[in-house]
Amino acid sequence: MIKRTYYLETFGCQMNVHDSEKMAGILEHEGYTRTLEPKLADLILFNTCSIREKAEQKFYSRLGRIKTIKARNPLAKIVVAGCIAQQDGKKLTARAPYVDFVFGPDNLKYIRDIAAEVAKEQFVLSENPALTDEALPSLREDGIRAWVNIMYGCNNFCSYCVVPYTRGRERSRPSRDILMELRDLAGKGYKEVTLLGQNVNSYRSDCDFPELLRHANDIKGIERIRFVTSHPKDLSSGLIHAIKCLDKVCEHIHLPLQSGSTRILQLMNRRYTFNEYREKVEILRENIPDIAITSDIIAGFPQENDLDHEATLQAISSIGFDGLFAFKYSSRPGTKAEAISGHLDESEKSKRLNDIITLQNNITDKKNKQLEGTVQTILIDRPDAKMKPGQLTGRTTTNKIVLVNNAASIPPGTILSVRIVRAHRHSLIGERISSR
Ligand code: 5AD
Ligand code: SF4
């Protein structure tokens, strides 16, 4: 068999990272090995993201640089998968004629035909596909923490967002398939799983999401269960109860607020008011006092005025998030928000983004400082190249990164009790107490 190589570059969210694991799984099954040098590859695959213009520009600039590689090695196959593929379709090859194949996030399996050199179509883009790719062999390299899809697509149509267009309508995987995958991961020694969906709270197959968590919690070997992302409008008392009562479900929820102004939330089609959001946070904290709450905010949505921006800053202060991802609003083709009047200029959006980041940095520093002296249990990660000898890292159940010195003999995957001795903005320093 001729040895062939692939180069794979992934842009965007965890969903894409996991889709890439599936495509890598297929490619390796077809006899390909990975190379980190595009110029040495027989197949160059980009898994793309179109959530914001910046992600799109980054990809197109990478693609531009691949042109010379294709010119030197015309036999190399250039493949574009993911959300830009779905969104731009034929426009993509008009812009970059050297691209050989384009397929969307719901057509991952097509990489098999491309790898086996039997692919007939240049474009494979489904509008709203059936659930077909759950059995793909993921190439997971971590060994400790794994991503697992529980549902695909989104029905929410937030007015700024391309996801419902690029990833189609919501489809939930049957619980038995998910649980089988979790048991298989546990058998391979995985300790932590993160259940992935655009809106996990609307997971519904033969059971609902809290029930899925209950079954997952019973799997021997899996020590920690996380999930992303939760839409505030669908956060149910059943889920709060599940986080509270199931010992393996981590005390962390990513609950994107997007704006603290109810007027802007309405324009965003988020279907909750700020008060409703705040009430949900209060119920979460009453039930699970140590829960970490992280969020997403969009700065400078169309028509956002100074008062709306103030309301967002106020909301961030009053809630006190453990972490925040803040983004400048980016106009996306085909979305409702693109057509709203009153878009803000870039400098105003940058200023507002900066206000948000500065405020949150202060909050993060204070929250982390409060953890000094506390005891936390961390799941030890695989060592990474940037670490000094004798150092290890892990995450608390609330998803904070902890660095421990003088502890090299502890194997990855161990749950360790540490005392937090110092807090930085992006990590905590811990000292070993004992292993469980
Ligand atoms: N502009 C800026 N941010 C966006 N997000 C989604 N679409 C856009 C957009 N058009 C952000 C939201 C979402 C996160 C994944 O990305 O905050 O929660
Ligand atoms: Fe996009 Fe809203 Fe769906 Fe999240 S819930 S993927 S922001 S449409």
Task: Please report the pLDDT score of residue 359 as a whole number.
Answer: 98
Beta bridge partners of 13: none
Task: Please report the pLDDT score of residue 6 as a whole number.
Answer: 98
**Is the separation of the CB atoms in 244 and 290 below 8 Å?**
no
Write down all domains in the chain, each with its CATH number in brackets. 4-124 (3.40.50.12160), 135-369 (3.80.30.20), 375-435 (2.40.50.140)
CB 284 near ligand 1, within 6 Å: no
Q: Which ligand lies nearest the alpha carbon of 271?
A: 2
- Exposed e or buried b per residue across 293-325, where buried means at least 16 C-beta atoms within 10 angstroms of its C-beta: bbbebbbbbbbbeeebbebbbebbeebebbbbe
Which residue's structure tokens are 């902890």?
402
* C-alpha–C-alpha distance, residues 84 and 262, integer Å: 31
Task: Please report the pLDDT score of residue 3 as a whole number.
Answer: 86
CB 51 near ligand 1, within 6 Å: yes
Closest ligand 1 atom number to CA of residue 258: 17
Query: pTM of this prediction?
Result: 0.94
Q: Hey, CA dihedral for 44, 190, 187, 253, is it positive or negative? A: negative
CB 338 near ligand 1, within 6 Å: no
Q: What is the mean pLDDT of each run of 10 residues along the chain (436 residues)?
A: 89 94 95 96 97 96 95 96 95 96 94 94 79 71 94 95 93 95 97 96 96 98 97 96 98 98 98 98 97 98 98 98 98 96 98 98 97 97 83 95 86 94 94 72
CA dist list (Å): 359 to 228, 306, 347, 371, 396: 24, 16, 18, 19, 24
Segment 293-320, tens digit of pLDDT: 999 999 999 999 999 999 999 999 999 9
**Is the separation of the CB atoms in 104 and 124 below 8 Å?**
yes
Helices (H), 140-202: 163-166, 175-187
**Is the separation of the CB atoms in 293 and 229 below 8 Å?**
no
**Is the separation of the CB atoms in 194 and 249 below 8 Å?**
no
Nearest to 128 by CA among 101, 150, 104, 160: 104
Q: Which ligand lies nearest the alpha carbon of 52?
A: 1
CB 298 near ligand 1, within 6 Å: yes
Span from the CA of 94 to the centroid of ligand 1 (angstroms):
27
Mutate to test the pocket of ligand 1, among 87, 265, 298, 330 (most ligand atoms within 8 A of CB): 298
Closest ligand 1 atom number to CA of residue 337: 10
Task: Please report the pLDDT score of residue 297 as a whole number.
Answer: 98
The token pair at 218 is: 């019973």
